[in-house]
Amino acid sequence: MGEVPKTVVDFTGEAERYRHELRVHCYRMLGSFDEAEDLVQETLLKAWRARDTFEGRSSFRAWLYRIATNACLDVIGRRPAPAATGGMPAAEVPWLQPFPDELLDRAEPGAGPDAEVVARETIELAFLAAVQHLPGRQRAVLVLRDVLGWPAADAAALLGDTVPAVNSALHRARVTLRRHLPERRADWSGEPNARERAVVREFVEATESGDMPRLAAALREDATWTMPPQPEWHRGRDALMGFWAPFMAGPEAIGEWRVLETRANRQPAVANYVRRPGGACFEALALDVLRVEGDAIAEVITFPADRFALFGLPATL
């Protein structure tokens, strides 16, 4: 299996090969980009300090995954369980954060078509939010087996468990996950396509023009909206428009809107900017990650403007 490089230069070079995939792994486990970043750094530091204990019984990559997974399990063990909100996982996970597609592309290069489908389905925000409802070890087993495709024996070795125990945990995790994933998941858009782009363009133009009927037409009748870390959530086109309209149009509107398109978690996203009355520029307001089903938007998850820098978005326009 080889040995861990002992010099700082060699170790750093070898470990850096796995930094991006370890970040995605920690993100899938935790749902928080910031925590994933911290844990990757912690993983590499722990690995360097423990390099003399590596015995070559597994690959260097598997050894790093073991350290990273255990670090994630420590974080999960300190977190409160997600609060039930009546079937809205994103509203139940206040630590949920988006992951820019630009960084995902760097983290998952050269994968074939099947791998791309798996990567997309297991990085979407709905999947990430649902996974947070699993106990730590079940979550680790699900990610290792169903996401990364590790054999049961390898997952068991990483977790210090038996193969029957891993298989049992995987079965329970799958059952729980199905309860928390949204319905009609097979109808979601996959790779960006003309239909999805047209829906998003309608959403953008309606927002910028303050055209509330047009904005409503871009939403499914049963569309949902959540805004982590706030626990509140809204379901239904009429409910969403009733909440949004006063801020976006009419005499009480907070200002003039401009929108930039981007992508997060293999989903379309839009960055909202507002120029308030008397203001000289458009200021960053919020990032919306959209889920498109068919010809309409089925879900909007809104994140604060502190995410803009991560996406390479300007603070003002």
Amino acid occupying residue 89? P
Q: H helices of 191-298, where? A: 194-209, 212-217, 237-248
Region 292-312: mean pLDDT is 95
The separation between the first and the last C-alpha atoms of the chain, rounded to the nearest angstrom, is 52
- What is the number of other CB atoms lying within 10 angstroms of the CB of residue 50? 12
Asked if 258 contacts 282 with a C-beta cutoff of 8 angstroms, the reply is: yes
pTM: 0.89
Least confident of 28-37, 201-210, 242-251: 242-251
Strands 267-275 and 230-235: unpaired
Strand partners, 11: none
Question: How much is the mean pLDDT over the chain?
Answer: 88
Q: What is the pLDDT of residues 220-256, one digit of tens each?
A: 999 999 999 888 889 999 999 999 998 898 888 899 9
Amino acid occupying residue 90? A
Q: What is the pLDDT of residues 48-85, one digit of tens each?
A: 888 777 766 678 889 999 999 999 999 999 988 777 66
Asked if 180 contacts 91 with a C-beta cutoff of 8 angstroms, the reply is: no
* Residue 316 DSSP code: B
